[in-house]
Amino acid sequence: MRKRFGFMFLFIAMMVLFTACSQVGTGKPERLNDRFVLVQGGSVRNTLSNYYGTGIALADFYIGKYEVTQKEWAEVMGSNPSQFQGSDLPVEMVSWYDVVEYCNQRSIKEGLKPFYNIDKSKKDPNNQSENDQMKWLVSINPEANGYRLPTEAEWEYAAGGGQESKSYKYSGSSRADDVAWYWRNVGDEYLTGDWNWPIIESNHGQPKPVGGKKPNELGLYDMSGNVREWCWDWYGDDVTGNPDRGSFRVVKGGGWIGDIGSSEVSFRGKFEANGFGPDQGFRLARSK
């Protein structure tokens, strides 16, 4: 009886270990629950969105509850490029190239298939920027289960509340200060008057720890302000056009340096892929 009990105990222990390893290796939803939200797809319900009424419908996808933190970045990349240091602050001073490389490296670390093919030896013929000398050739593995950047449509759909949308102007409220970190409220005192960088700087404005404001309808934080967030897409004048080339990549969500208008869900920013700054970060996505 004692031998049989010992065998059963060993069998159960092996099954538990196998299940845990399987979840790490495949990135099953159980591993995503604490830091990611499953966004139910469908047509856009936020009436203030650029995509409302266009007929576009999105598939289900996962997106990060929070912007990627400096701790998460350093755990994967081994260093912290941020100007304003803090483990729970969003990572910043990262270019689009830095970010797609992070996505792949984190995927590999967690046993997932990298979403991006990155060829640093070739220049992307679709990159029309005159100031970007890197121009890495980056393509996607659409069937991969690894981490990636959200598309502009995914980002705006999630920020706007998805199928739970209440058509807020900002991500989670029609009052910016409920949900957004922007130039007026990121320093020692609440600022009034016109945007003024010397005043912002002397007021010790800077990014804030992730998750400090109210979440939106889907439980997502900081999609209106804190740091601007990279998206996958080339920037085009028509959001439904999905251009396959351009000079800029899309950035969304405003930032702590930005004015209140850039915190609106519908605001569309642009930045050259090699650009970086103390208000430039990102959040992760994954396909379902």
Residue ranges making up the domain that contains 204: 29-287
Task: Say how far apart CA 144 and CA 288 lie, in whole Å.
Answer: 10
- Between 32 and 265, name the one with better pLDDT: 265
pLDDT score recorded for residue 74: 98
Is 19 within a domain?
no
Work out the number of other CB atoms within 10 angstroms of the CB of residue 285.
23
Is 18 within a domain?
no
Stretch 223-251: mean pLDDT: 95
Task: Quote the number of domains for the chain.
Answer: 1
- The per-residue pLDDT for range 57-113, each reduced to its tens digit, is 999 999 999 999 999 999 999 999 999 999 999 999 999 999 999 999 999 999 999
Whether the pLDDT of residue 25 is over 50: the answer is no
Is 21 within a domain?
no
pLDDT score recorded for residue 155: 98
Is 11 within a domain?
no
Element (H, E) at 158: helix 152-159
Is 248 within a domain?
yes
pTM equals 0.89
Give CA torsion, residues 263, 215, 88, 90, to 10 deg. -30
| Phi, psi torsion values for 156, nearest 5 degrees | -70, -35
Is 104 within a domain?
yes
Is 271 within a domain?
yes
- The per-residue pLDDT for range 174-215, each reduced to its tens digit, is 999 999 999 999 999 999 999 999 999 999 999 999 999 999
Task: Say how far apart CA 60 and CA 39 lie, in whole Å.
Answer: 6
Is 4 within a domain?
no
CATH number at residue 72: 3.90.1580.10
